[in-house]
């Protein structure tokens, strides 16, 4: 039986993959509702003096609760399958809440410039970054997810598509010039 994910075809850049149809449209709409209800605030970066140049977006955090555990339960086997088939990291799990992210052009060209997600706490590091597209591509312009290794690659816009890549990989979201881009971001931790 074929897997519902595809690796990047160029073997010199084989460092990301994606999964389709892991969540239904109704489930995606529910995630958006939950994310909006959690109280969205301006996203921050470690260097707050340079924050507007690096990142302009808004986020809320989706913790594990009776209302939200189904999201984690649906995402976990997808992440496990992608990791086992493609990356082979020694993963521990979700140590951080899921991040619901909003890039809204009405707030002025929101974006997130080139960065990595690597982070180490108590010997446990972010190993795998997961980005799920919640918006339909017709809901916004700009807002492309770019990954950079040997060359730069633009990820396709498709509602519900889940991208996975190593957390040490450079990536960015280009400015949203029209409409609103929503995504769900997760970091899967593992041992150093």
Residue 7 located in a structural domain: no
Which token pair is 15? Answer: 């460092």
Determine contact, residues 97/153, Cβ cutoff 8 Å: no
Residue 6 located in a structural domain: no
Q: What is the pLDDT of residue 119?
A: 77
Residue 91 located in a structural domain: yes
Q: Would you say residue 175 has pLDDT above 70?
A: yes
Residue 139 located in a structural domain: yes
Residue 61 located in a structural domain: yes
- Domain of 48 in residue numbering reads as 14-191
Residue 35 located in a structural domain: yes
- pLDDT tens for 108-142 read 889 999 999 987 777 778 999 999 999 999 999 99
Q: How far apart are CA 42 and CA 46, in angstroms?
A: 13
Question: What's the pTM?
Answer: 0.88
**Full DSSP string of the chain:** ---SEEE-S-GGG---EEE-SSS-HHHHHHHHHHHHHT--EE---S-GGGHHHHEE-EEEEE--STTTHHHHHHHHHHHHHHIIIII---EEEE-S-EEEEEEEGGGTS-EEEEE----EETTEEEEEEEEEE-S-GGGEEE--EEEESSSEEEPPP-TT-EEEEETTSEEEEPPEEEEEEEEEEEEEEEE-
Q: Would you say residue 15 has pLDDT above 60?
A: yes
Total domains in the chain come to 1
Residue 140 located in a structural domain: yes
**Quick one: pLDDT band at residue 46, thresholds 50, 70, 90?**
low
- pLDDT tens for 58-88 read 999 999 999 999 999 999 999 999 999 999 9
């Amino acid at each position: 039986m074929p897997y519902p994910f595809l690796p990047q075809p160029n073997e010199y850049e084989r460092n990301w993959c994606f999964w389709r149809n892991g969540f239904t449209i109704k489930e995606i709409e529910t995630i958006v509702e939950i994310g909006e209800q959690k109280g969205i605030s301006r996203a921050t970066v470690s260097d707050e003096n340079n924050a507007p140049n690096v990142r302009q977006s808004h986020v809320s955090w989706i913790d594990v609760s009776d209302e939200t555990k189904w999201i984690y339960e649906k995402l976990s086997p997808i992440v496990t399958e992608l990791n086992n088939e493609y990356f082979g990291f020694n993963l521990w799990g979700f140590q951080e809440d899921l991040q619901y992210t909003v890039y809204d052009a009405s707030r002025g060209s929101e974006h997130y410039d080139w960065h990595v997600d690597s982070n180490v706490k108590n010997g446990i590091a972010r190993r795998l970054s997961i980005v799920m597209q919640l918006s339909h591509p017709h809901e916004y312009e700009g807002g492309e997810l770019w990954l950079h290794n040997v060359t730069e690659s633009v990820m396709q816009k498709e509602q519900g598509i889940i991208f996975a890549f190593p957390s040490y990989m450079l990536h960015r979201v280009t400015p949203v010039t029209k409409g609103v881009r929503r995504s769900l971001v997760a970091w899967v931790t593992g041992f150093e």
